[in-house]
């Protein structure tokens, strides 16, 4: 195991320390939690995680590069082998449709991602004991109902993979825009984990469009991470971000994936379209160069696939750039009864009203948005915009 | 491994002729495939009697079902399946055949 770790992390010291810590954790936890179905894989996954943690803690420049490598390319040229098979079996088991969505997310993060219980509890804003119970019950159900520990058969794979993608997308979103008044607004450990697992699924299904689409979407979003939150902890919207701070390599990889899917000539699914929208945005050197008609055209495609009011809202935001805020506001107002409880609905209205010079209505909408917003950086940003009104 | 597949109903009235035909076809198939252990439809909850013989004295009989609820157990299958995936697939077909919701639960 140390050999494999060394091969991956290129550092025997880190490998040995990580392996030792993994064994120590096993000694500590297995008597209480039970021995996992594949102890070797558990140890390796845990050791990998501890090694990554250590590399992150050390802030030397070449270690940052190593960390970057892990986000960019999970297994540089190594043959998949037994360990990846193990992780895939684990992911599909943790994401089984017989488990509730929040259980799937928690279980995946714990068993595959190796996050600690306190970390996962914090991510989902529940007590540690609640999270512990949720995971214990899930393991008990898996055992009692005999959820099979395997990668699904070829005929079941497409449906099961979309279930896994949904879990990974939710995990990524939680990392991208973490909820909770005391959370860090952007949680890199979750986004990096989501990307890593999506890459793993891609090794299993290299020709699947939605897997590629989700990976592209995550990479293009992650590329903007450092530009998303200001030094003062405020959300920086896309239009105001310092595009020079975007990660060039992640953007390039995301674009490559999007082009690959376009060339495939297959009707794109949800994630592919969302990735393409992000690709249009990240292709513009300056926000004023954004090809908004392309963005609206892509949203038109997406709306046909997914009638969600949130997509309609995002489409309206793009329409504002093309046809002006008045037209967009009319479209947004039509979503009132569906989105009245959603902070972004009010934030969008507030922004459009502000652009139309209707300050009082804008202020009221900002107030509503702030009341409903769950993310510290967003709240700060919305508060500032509201206070800037005349 | 055996699973109980309970049929959940919320209105009176047994299966239609079409539903019966589908259920019979389903039963024939799973019997041929070796999954069928037992199956049956139940009379309406009004035909039920509850007996409490846990106390020290005589057994107490109560007319009617255990739970007064809108939804009730209308019938069930007991199936043999290697794992939950197999059981769920069979139960999904069962749900389609009898045109009602079903609950899949493992035996101990």
What does the angle CA A336 – CA A342 – CA A343 come to, to the nearest 5 degrees? 115
Distance CA A263, CA A282 (A): 19
Asked whether the beta carbons of A186 and A178 are under 8 A apart, the reply is yes
A145 touches chain B (CB under 8 A): yes
Asked whether the beta carbons of B40 and B76 are under 8 A apart, the reply is yes
Distance from CA of B56 to the nearest CA of A (A): 35
Report the mean per-residue pLDDT for chain A: 85
DSSP code at position A375: B
Residue of A145, A153, A156 best to disrupt the B interface, most CBs of B under 10 A: A145
* pLDDT on residue A77: 44
B34 touches chain A (CB under 8 A): no
Identify which of B75, B68, B80, B67 has the alpha carbon closest to the alpha carbon of residue B99: B75
Asked if A148 lies within 8 A of B83 by C-beta distance, the reply is yes
Using a CB-CB cut-off of 8 Å, the residues of chain A touching B83 are 146-148
Distance from CA of B87 to the nearest CA of A (A): 9
A147 touches chain B (CB under 8 A): yes
Which among A148, A152, A156 has CB closest to B84?
Answer: A148
The contacts of residue A341 (CB under 8 Å, 6+ apart) are A372
* pLDDT on residue A179: 60
Distance CA B17, CA A381 (A): 63
Q: Identify the residue with better confidence: A212 or A65.
A: A212
Using a CB-CB cut-off of 8 Å, the residues of chain A touching B88 are 97-98
The SS3 assignment for A361 reads helix
Asked whether the beta carbons of A74 and A35 are under 8 A apart, the reply is no
Asked whether the beta carbons of A270 and A285 are under 8 A apart, the reply is no
Place of tokens 């249009």: A280
Taking the CB of residue A206, how many other CB atoms lie within 10 A of it?
A: 9
Q: Which CATH architecture has domain B2-43+73-106?
A: 2-Layer Sandwich (3.30)
A94 touches chain B (CB under 8 A): no
Q: Where are the alpha helices (DSSP H) in A147-247?
A: 157-176, 188-204, 209-222, 225-228
* pLDDT on residue B37: 97
Using a CB-CB cut-off of 8 Å, the residues of chain B touching A148 are 82-85
**Highest mean pLDDT of the ranges A67-76, A147-156, A170-179:** A147-156
* pLDDT on residue A389: 86
Give residue limits of the domains in chain B.
2-43+73-106
* pLDDT on residue A161: 92
Distance CA A145, CA A308 (A): 34
Sheet (strand B101-106) strand order: B36-41, B72-80, B2-9, B101-106
* pLDDT on residue A231: 83
Per residue in B19-47, pLDDT (tens digit) is 999 999 999 999 999 999 999 999 989 99
Asked if B85 lies within 8 A of A145 by C-beta distance, the reply is no
Using a CB-CB cut-off of 8 Å, the residues of chain A touching B105 are 145
Using a CB-CB cut-off of 8 Å, the residues of chain B touching A92 are none
Using a CB-CB cut-off of 8 Å, the residues of chain B touching A146 are 1, 82-84, 106
* pLDDT on residue A44: 72
A98 touches chain B (CB under 8 A): yes
* pLDDT on residue A68: 57
A152 touches chain B (CB under 8 A): yes
**Average pLDDT over every residue of A183-194:** 79
DSSP H or E segment with residue B104:
strand B101-106
Distance CA A83, CA A16 (A): 18
Say if residue A70's pLDDT is above 60.
Answer: no
Asked if A148 lies within 8 A of B85 by C-beta distance, the reply is yes
CA nearest A93 in B: which residue?
B85
ipTM: 0.87
Beta bridge partners of B52: B60
B1 touches chain A (CB under 8 A): yes
Which residues of chain B from 85 to 104 reach within 8 Å of chain A, CB to CB? 85, 87-88, 104
The contacts of residue A326 (CB under 8 Å, 6+ apart) are A356
DSSP code at position A149: -
**pLDDT confidence of A47, banded at 50, 70, 90?**
confident
Per residue in A237-272, pLDDT (tens digit) is 898 999 999 999 999 999 999 999 999 989 999 999
* Dihedral class, residue A36 (left if φ above 0, else alpha if ψ from -120 to 50, else beta): beta
Q: Which pTM was predicted? A: 0.73
Q: Supply the DSSP string of A235-276, one letter for each residue.
A: B--GGGS-GGGS-HHHHHHHHHHHHHHHHHTSPP-HHHHHHH
CB pairs under 8 A between A and B: 26
**Could you tell me how far CA A234 lies from the centroid of its own chain?**
20
Identify which of A112, A131, A130, A129 has the alpha carbon closest to the alpha carbon of residue A120: A131
**Average pLDDT over every residue of A187-204:** 89
């Amino acid at each position: 195991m140390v050999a494999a770790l060394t091969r991956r992390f290129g550092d025997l010291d880190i490998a040995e320390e990580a392996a030792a810590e993994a064994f120590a954790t096993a000694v500590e936890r297995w008597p209480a939690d039970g021995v996992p179905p594949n102890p070797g894989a558990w140890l390796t996954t845990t050791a990998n995680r501890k090694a990554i943690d250590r590399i992150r803690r050390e802030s030397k420049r070449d270690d940052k590069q190593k960390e970057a490598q892990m986000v960019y390319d999970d297994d540089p040229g190594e043959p998949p082998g037994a360990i990846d098979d193990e992780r895939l079996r684990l992911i599909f088991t943790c994401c089984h449709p017989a488990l509730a969505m929040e259980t799937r997310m928690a279980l995946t993060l714990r068993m595959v991602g190796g996050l600690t219980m306190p970390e996962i509890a914090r991510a989902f804003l529940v007590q540690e004991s609640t999270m512990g119970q949720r995971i214990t019950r899930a393991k008990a159900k898996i055992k009692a109902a005999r959820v099979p520990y395997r990668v699904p058969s070829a005929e079941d794979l497409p449906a099961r993979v979309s279930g896994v993608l949904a879990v990974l997308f939710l995990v990524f979103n939680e990392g991208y825009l973490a909820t909770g008044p005391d959370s860090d607004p952007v949680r890199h450990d979750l986004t990096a984990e989501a990307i890593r697992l999506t890459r793993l699924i891609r090794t299993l299904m290299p020709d699947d469009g939605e897997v590629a689409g989700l990976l592209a979407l995550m990479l293009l979003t992650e590329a903007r991470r450092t530009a998303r939150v200001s030094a003062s902890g405020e959300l920086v919207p896309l239009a105001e971000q310092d595009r020079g701070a975007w990660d060039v390599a992640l953007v390039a990889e995301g674009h490559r994936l999007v082009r690959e899917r376009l060339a495939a000539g297959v009707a794109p699914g949800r994630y592919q379209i969302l990735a393409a929208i992000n690709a249009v945005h990240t292709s513009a050197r300056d926000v004023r160069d954004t090809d908004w008609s392309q963005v609206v055209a892509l949203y038109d495609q997406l709306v046909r696939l997914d009638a969600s009011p949130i997509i309609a809202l995002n489409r309206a935001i793009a329409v504002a750039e093309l046809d002006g805020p008045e037209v967009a506001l009319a479209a947004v107002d039509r979503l009132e009864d569906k989105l009245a409880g959603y902070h972004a609905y009010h934030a969008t209205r507030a922004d459009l009203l502000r652009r139309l010079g209707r300050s009082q209505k804008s202020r009221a909408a900002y107030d509503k948005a702030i009341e409903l917003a769950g993310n510290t950086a967003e709240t700060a940003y919305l508060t500032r915009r509201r206070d800037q009104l005349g | 491994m055996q699973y109980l597949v309970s049929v959940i109903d919320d209105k009176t009235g047994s299966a239609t002729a079409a539903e019966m035909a589908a259920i019979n076809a389903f039963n024939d198939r799973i019997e041929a495939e070796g999954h069928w252990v037992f199956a049956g439809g139940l009379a309406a909850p009004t035909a039920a009697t509850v007996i409490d013989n846990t106390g020290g004295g005589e057994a107490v009989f109560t007319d009617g079902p255990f739970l007064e609820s809108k939804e009730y157990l209308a019938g069930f299958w007991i199936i043999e399946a290697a794992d939950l995936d197999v059981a769920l697939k069979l139960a999904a077909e069962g749900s389609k055949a009898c045109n009602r919701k079903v609950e899949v639960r493992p035996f101990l």
